[in-house]
Amino acid sequence: MRIRELELPGLTRLAPMANISNAPFRLITRECGSAFSTTEEIDAMALVRGNPKALHIASSYPGEHPLAMQLLGADAATLVPAAEMLAERGAEVIDLNMGCPVRKIVSAGKGAALMRDIPRTARLLRAMRAAIRVPFTVKIRGGWDDEHLNAVDVARMAEDEGVDAITVHPRTRSQQFSGKAPWDVIREVVEAVRIPVTGNGDVRSLKDARAMQASTGCAAVMVGRGALGRPWIFDEAYACLPACEQRAYRTRVIQRHIALIKEHCTEHPKAVMIQMKNHLAWYTEGIGESSAMRDRIVRCHDVDGIEAIFWECWGQATDNVEQSARSGDDERTVSEAARPARV
Ligand SMILES: Cc1cc2nc3c(=O)[nH]c(=O)nc-3n(C[C@H](O)[C@H](O)[C@H](O)COP(=O)(O)O)c2cc1C
């Protein structure tokens, strides 16, 4: 995909996910083959006020650039200075969240609420466009609810206001994450605009990603929950490796991920623990007695203990995976209900 002057090789890219798509996870997925990543949403007001958590979310590793940084906000008075701050901090792309369905967010006029008043949002995008020199993108939903399916109108408006690319997660705000993502909405947006469109929703494998591209014509595919505990989903070569090499690959990735979490969150010991619990529990998903392993991980309250439990379980679990791979039953699934602990 090409976003203005940025050439982004590869079909798949990591989705922004609050409390998950932080610098360590983005770097890991990037090294596994994600073409490009977006930070989790950063509240514009918090950023402008110098809130340490917002500044921490906006931090990144050199190896994960080019990087899109995503803003959440309701008005130009905060979004414009916040976008300028992110560009100064090295964002190659500024993305605006127009899809967050959370009640507290939309009731403040942010996220998916921006899809409800197109003329007002057009003025907001115009103000941001005028202030930002780097590429500017938006991430939208299919609409507010079944009576207001306006992704095409919103996408056309965004293009008219100079937005460089669009990501579409086609569920409505009311649907939240329920039901199946209606990919035909992505196709309708692709057909309606000339700027590149990234499709998103329910992609769990590279096969799914190719199917989404074939059925919608999207330029790239964003993967969220399908990458939890499986950052190697982005690697074309991974599936072709023999089982023993896949195991070594996964072990290397997890070791590096743990090291990055510890290094990145040093000032926030609680954040290290939550990140470790979430990601290590996801890494056990679908293998061996994973629910028993997750229980032990979740009940443990110190970082070294969590890591020790994980490696003990991982040793046993990978043996099980090898056995199931030999019996031709190596298909894993990621729980739809993967819910992160909040930092
Ligand atoms: C825990 C969680 C946090 C999310 N946070 C964000 C966010 O910060 N910004 C955003 O645009 N979308 C966010 N999303 C939505 C995802 O980017 C994506 O659109 C959605 O999960 C559907 O894609 P998937 O089926 O590949 O998971 C979040 C989703 C989840 C599950």
Is the distance from the beta carbon of residue 218 to the nearest atom of ligand 1 less than 6 Å?
no
With 80 as the cut, is the pLDDT of residue 156 above it?
A: yes
pLDDT band for 80, please (50, 70, 90 cuts): very high
Which pLDDT belongs to residue 320?
52
With 50 as the cut, is the pLDDT of residue 340 above it?
A: no
Which pLDDT belongs to residue 268?
74
Is residue 44 within 8 Å of 82, Cβ to Cβ?
Answer: yes
The single residue listed with the structure tokens 């090499």 is 245
With 80 as the cut, is the pLDDT of residue 194 above it?
A: yes
Which pLDDT belongs to residue 270?
83
Query: pLDDT tens digit string along 290-328?
Result: 788 788 888 898 889 999 989 988 887 655 554 444 333
Residues in the chain: 343
Percent with pLDDT over 70 in the chain: 90
Is the distance from the beta carbon of residue 170 to the nearest atom of ligand 1 less than 6 Å?
no
With 90 as the cut, is the pLDDT of residue 28 above it?
A: yes
pLDDT band for 269, please (50, 70, 90 cuts): confident
Tell me how far the alpha carbon of residue 164 lies from the centroid of ligand 1, in angstroms.
21
Query: pLDDT tens digit string along 179-192?
Result: 899 999 999 999 99
Residue nearest to atom 14 of ligand 1 (CA): 17
With 60 as the cut, is the pLDDT of residue 338 above it?
A: no
> Which backbone phi and psi does 166 adopt, to 5 degrees?
-135, 140
With 60 as the cut, is the pLDDT of residue 251 above it?
A: yes
Mean of the per-residue pLDDT values of the chain: 90
C-alpha 241/C-alpha 40 separation (Å) is: 31
Residue nearest to atom 7 of ligand 1 (CA): 17
Query: pLDDT tens digit string along 97-114?
Result: 999 999 999 999 999 999
Q: To test the ligand 1 pocket, which listed residue (169, 186, 208) has its Cβ within 8 A of the most ligand atoms?
A: 169
Which pLDDT belongs to residue 286?
66
pLDDT band for 334, please (50, 70, 90 cuts): very low
Comparing 128-132, 205-209, 303-307, the range with the smallest average pLDDT is: 303-307
- For 275, residues 6+ apart whose C-beta sits below 8 A from its C-beta are 22, 24, 261, 265, 343
Closest approach atom of ligand 1 to CA 227: 26
**DSSP secondary structure code for residue 194 in this structure:** S
Residue nearest to atom 23 of ligand 1 (CA): 201
With 80 as the cut, is the pLDDT of residue 162 above it?
A: yes
Closest approach atom of ligand 1 to CA 181: 25
Cα 116–chain centre separation? 24
Q: Residue ranges of the alpha helices (H) in 132-177?
A: 151-160
Q: Which residue has the higher pLDDT, 57 or 329?
A: 57
Tell me how far the alpha carbon of residue 316 lies from the centroid of ligand 1, in angstroms.
32
Tell me how far the alpha carbon of residue 15 lies from the centroid of ligand 1, in angstroms.
6
Mean pLDDT for the stretch of residues 203-217:
97
Residue nearest to atom 13 of ligand 1 (CA): 17
Comparing 86-90, 173-177, 266-270, the range with the smallest average pLDDT is: 266-270
Comparing 25-39, 74-88, 195-209, 309-323, the range with the smallest average pLDDT is: 309-323
- Report field, pTM of the whole predicted structure over 0.95: no
Comparing 5-14, 51-60, 157-166, 331-340, the range with the smallest average pLDDT is: 331-340
Which pLDDT belongs to residue 319?
55
Is the distance from the beta carbon of residue 175 to the nearest atom of ligand 1 less than 6 Å?
no
Mean pLDDT for the stretch of residues 134-148:
97
Residue-wise DSSP of 10-43: SSEEEPP-TTTSSHHHHHHHHHHT-S-EEEEEEE
Which pLDDT belongs to residue 265?
77
Which pLDDT belongs to residue 342?
36
Which pLDDT belongs to residue 134?
97
| 220 membership: H or E segment, kind and range | strand 220-223
Tell me how far the alpha carbon of residue 324 lies from the centroid of ligand 1, in angstroms.
31
Mean pLDDT for the stretch of residues 222-236:
97
Using DSSP's 3-state secondary structure scheme, residue 330 falls into coil
C-alpha 153/C-alpha 184 separation (Å) is: 15
Active site residues: 100
Is the distance from the beta carbon of residue 70 to the nearest atom of ligand 1 less than 6 Å?
yes
